[in-house]
Amino acid sequence: MSHSGSRFATVLIIVGCLIATGCLVSARNKSFFGKTDPPRENILRYVSGSEPESLDPQIPNLQNEARISLALFEGLAEYDPKTSEPAPALAERWVVNKDWSEIVFYLRHDGRFSNGDPITARDFVYTIRRGLAPGLGSRTASLAYPIKYAQAFNEGRVFVFDPNTKTFLLERDFVESTEPAAPSAAETKQPAASKNDVQPPENATAETEFHRFMQSPARLALPGKEKARKAALDANPKLKAAVDGKQFVTVTADSVGVEAVDDYTLRISLMQPAPYFISMMPHQFFRAIHQKTIEKFGNRWTDPDKIVTSGPFKLDSWSHYDRIVVSREPHYWDAANVRLDKIIFYLLDSNTTILSLYKSGGLDATYNHTVPAAWLDGIGPMKDFMDASEAAVDFYNFNTTKGPTKDVRVRKAMNMSLDKKALADWRHVHALTTLIPEGIFPGYPQLKGDSFDPEKAKKLLADAGYRDASGNFDPKKFEASEVELIVNPDANNIPYAEFIQAQWKRNLGATISIRVMENKTYFVAQAALDYKGVSRTGWSADYLDPFTFLGIFYTSSNPTGWSDPKYVELLDRANRTTDHQERYALLAQAEQILLDAQPIMPTTVPTTRMMKKPYVKGLYPNPTTLHSWKAVYIERDPSKWDYGMPDMSK
Amino acid sequence: MLRFIIRRVVVIIPMVLIVISLTWVLVRLAPGNFYTGEKKLSTGIEANLREKYGLDKPWYVQYGKVLKNIVRLDFGNSLKYEGQSVNQILWRGLPVSAALGLSAYLIALLVGITTGSLSALKPNSWIDYSSMTLAMLGISIPNFVLGPLLVLLFSLTLFWFPPALWDGFPSRSMVLPALTLSAIYIAYIARLTRSGMLEIMRSDYIRTARAKGLTEGQVVTRHALRGGLLPVVSFSGPALAFLITGTVVVEKVFALPGLGNYFINACFNRDEPLIIGIVAFIAITVLVFNLLVDVAYGFIDPRIRYS
């Protein structure tokens, strides 16, 4: 009996439940997803993503940890709540020198750690040195690599000391010199700081021994490990001869280009000009941490009974795999403007669970991408659905090192035969034909990639040799078995890939198979170029500057294997250029080279797709979905609620 | 009896070592590492990480460290979660899983044995048919379907219970996960009880008991249940072991901080010490519970003797 019977009964139960929910929901407020009763206390209940690896802001590298670090720690600059651009925080202002080799930060005098200790320039020197220490194993240390000798210290490199002349060997004598720096414009100041437009006081230019060391030409830094060093020396006979009989001196923390000129003046020297450097300052890697606590407790310093923090909130409790509770920090310099008493971060990452909790009134807001594409038709029109463009891109890598996709014509053809507009409309996002998303970087000269053109695609493929006797494209000749589309099973990747597969089938007649791989297996295959044809990927900005995207292809160890010295040269030149517009123009030129070579197939710009109850104010769907928590508050007066997306313009 | 127990305990040790070694090999064969992610780390940073966690050492050194840890029953530090030891994580997750598992187990025993016995006493009656249909449903609906259905009904429609999260034991947040978890066990236990009881009710010693003039109630509780529940006992020993050491799906659906949730994430994260710690813990628990079941047989079924 029971088999078909039980199945029938199951269907009945499911249908019954669905009908019951449907009726009841429609009886409630239709314009919002679930309950809209504000919490009784001044508490924000937010979901921050999966369990953090650590509360140490310098170790992990993902958004779920960043969201919590933003509450507990503060850096020189903080993300603007609406634009995500750097705004003054523990530094009141900063001044950049002419050739972008040096930045001086002027710290506020009332910054305090949660134990009451003042936050001084020395704390930032410690913070940056500590983050770079090789033994710490920070995943994000490379963000600090523009700082002089930071990379050398982090990688355990050695300087070469000549005992006879008592000097160090210099980099410029052994590395092929690149073009001289582009003529620099007048002194650049960060717009955010320019309202405090004061001439730097005397001490900014204070000459110290360390400063002279920083200003002197860069020393040569060789690999610290015997084997790697031997390889480097063997590759360069001139270097090998010069190094002979010299001493190797390990690069130490003292050589890293950060200096406390006085208690409240921090001077950072850069290895090479990096105009994007300021936009990295709000990153958690650069947020102030307390030296004594860390030295006392080692890797247990983040335990709730030991931790000392620097942000607007302090840690109350951490119930693992469940929730982190933070509350208002009385020592915080701007405590008067912190509006929430508490934030509860729920450590959840399953979208259905998150949305259930949100609907039942257990959550006030969610992080980005928590609304699955399949729910968009239902949730999309609701007034608490927040959907704004992100500083992120979705694209697919072509393996440019082997198979049919080695041929640029094949890459171009595959890119051209995908109707990105249709894909974007289906997913409720914007189509993308370039690497840099439109509208995120004001003033960036927006390029245009190849548009949808199946006929041209077929011609290109015919040119590439996939043609019949009469010279027309022949899908049978195309080695479709040599190309596959690999994806990881996250979120919406599979339907997305199926859409693209169908497009190629329809527009080219080629059947490209999809291979779904477990996350880590997929990441490894992609990074090692161990895939045939195409792999799905995406990139969210580490900092708000086009270089965060263009830098992916700076070396050939990217998942496409593509590289071009001209591209790298343009990027270097752009970063030496201090004039904002001129720099953007150079970056755009580099992007054009990339688009011409088509190592990637850009598809869409992701949108925030988050939920926020109408009574939560000061929390915006900004480009990074990282929120400055002190700006957030609970509004109890329904007439001041957000009925739709809040106004994002300043 | 004592010799039997000692012999069994001695066997547990090599079993656990084999399980651990296999797990270690499998983890090592899986591509990727705890730090592998969408954004590739620079080679210098990767080298720092490998050195920090001893991954640059030869395999036998690393394997030796694993074995040493097992012997001392200290599984070292988690790779993924900086500054947390595996033992700390185990002791944190266990109470949640155990509270949930035990509640589900008790519900399953209570409901399962009751409906099973009722069905067996009145075979082919409407009670029998309806409870066996429900049991069939319980077996055929997987808990990743049942969980969300219960959430839909009780949390999002009636707003009786929270749809997720853990508010400690006992709390309203436990109700839905415990129900979801128990469904399949209720069904198994009901069916096992029914078939066991049906068989026993036809046996000679029941006829003897009836002939002695015992009432039907006495026959059932004193004689039939003891024999009829043997299959349930052998099923529920390992079942209890699995229930309290964490149930991956239910803990994931309801976002509970139990061992199952830690385990599945440890696998996705390639957090080797944590995977090995949890596997060792589960292996030991299952083996010990099996031993307990075997010992329990002796008390329940007079036909079994250990020599």
Whether B242 has its CB under 8 Å from any CB of chain A: the answer is no
- What rounded mean pLDDT belongs to chain A? 88
Please give the structure tokens belonging to residue B261.
Answer: 């949730």
Kindly list the distances between the CA atom of residue B3 and the CA atoms of A125, B7, B234, B303, B306, in Å, as whole numbers in the listed order: 66, 6, 21, 19, 9
Closest CA to A331 of A305, A307, A312, A306: A312
**Residues of chain A found within 8 Å of residue B43, distances taken between Cβ atoms:** 557
**pLDDT, tens digit, 9 for 90 and up, residues A496-524:** 999 999 999 999 988 999 999 998 999 99
Q: Longest C-alpha distance within chain B, in Å? A: 85
**pLDDT, tens digit, 9 for 90 and up, residues A58-84:** 999 889 999 999 999 999 999 999 999
What's the rounded mean pLDDT across residues A479-490? 87
Mutate to test the interface with A, among B52, B79, B156, B173 (most CBs of A within 10 A): B156
pLDDT band at residue A195 using 50, 70 and 90 as cut-offs: very low
Please give the structure tokens belonging to residue A472.
Answer: 């027309």
pLDDT for A213: 92
**pLDDT, tens digit, 9 for 90 and up, residues B6-32:** 888 888 889 989 999 999 999 999 998
**pLDDT, tens digit, 9 for 90 and up, residues A527-553:** 999 999 999 998 988 888 999 999 999
Mutate to test the interface with A, among B28, B34, B45, B267 (most CBs of A within 10 A): B45
Please give the structure tokens belonging to residue A640.
Answer: 């001041």
pLDDT band at residue A143 using 50, 70 and 90 as cut-offs: very high
A28, pLDDT greater than 50:
no
pLDDT for A182: 39
For B:45-84, CB contacts with A below 8 A are 45, 47-49, 51-53, 80-84
pLDDT for B306: 64
Shortest distance between the Cα of B16 and any Cα of chain A, in A, equals 28
Ranking A75-89, A263-277, A469-483 by mean pLDDT, the lowest is A469-483
Between chains, do A6 and B137 touch, taking CB under 8 Å as contact?
A: yes
CB A453 within 8 A of CB A416: yes
pLDDT band at residue A491 using 50, 70 and 90 as cut-offs: low
What's the rounded mean pLDDT across residues B151-171? 84
pLDDT band at residue B220 using 50, 70 and 90 as cut-offs: confident
pLDDT band at residue A29 using 50, 70 and 90 as cut-offs: low
Mutate to test the interface with B, among A297, A321, A395 (most CBs of B within 10 A): A321
What's the rounded mean pLDDT across residues B233-247? 82
Residue of chain A whose Cα is closest to the Cα of B38: A523
**Residues of chain A found within 8 Å of residue B45, distances taken between Cβ atoms:** 137-139, 141-142, 154
> Between these two residues, A5 and B172, which has the higher pLDDT value?
B172
Query: In angstroms, rounded to a whole number, what is the distance separating the alpha carbons of residues A561 and A406?
Result: 10
Query: In angstroms, rounded to a whole number, what is the distance separating the alpha carbons of residues B85 and B129?
Result: 51
Residue of chain A whose Cα is closest to the Cα of B153: A17
Closest CA to A522 of A499, A493, A554: A493
pLDDT for A14: 54
Whether B38 has its CB under 8 Å from any CB of chain A: the answer is yes
pLDDT band at residue A650 using 50, 70 and 90 as cut-offs: low
Highest mean pLDDT among A24-28, A123-127, B218-222: A123-127
CB A273 within 8 A of CB A580: no
Whether B249 has its CB under 8 Å from any CB of chain A: the answer is no
What's the rounded mean pLDDT across residues B81-110? 91
> Between these two residues, A418 and B172, which has the higher pLDDT value?
A418
ipTM for the assembly: 0.83
Please give the structure tokens belonging to residue A492.
Answer: 């919406």
A389, pLDDT greater than 90:
no
Between chains, do B37 and A61 touch, taking CB under 8 Å as contact?
A: yes
Query: In angstroms, rounded to a whole number, what is the distance separating the alpha carbons of residues A334 and B185?
Result: 56
Neighbours of B235 (CB within 10 A): 19
A343, pLDDT greater than 80:
yes
Neighbours of A234 (CB within 10 A): 10
Neighbours of A248 (CB within 10 A): 14
Query: In angstroms, rounded to a whole number, what is the distance separating the alpha carbons of residues A159 and A254?
Result: 13
Please identify which residue in the block is written with the tokens 């580099």: A590
pLDDT for B300: 74
> Between these two residues, B45 and A176, which has the higher pLDDT value?
B45
Kindly list the distances between the CA atom of residue B270 and the CA atoms of A489, A520, B283, in Å, as whole numbers in the listed order: 17, 9, 19
What's the rounded mean pLDDT across residues B242-252? 84
Q: Which amino acid is at B273?
A: P
CA B25, distance to chain mean position in Å, is 24
pLDDT for A1: 36
CB A318 within 8 A of CB A52: no
Q: Helix B2-29 and helix B272-300: axis angle, to 10°?
A: 150
Q: Which amino acid is at B176?
A: L
pLDDT band at residue A492 using 50, 70 and 90 as cut-offs: confident
pLDDT for A180: 43
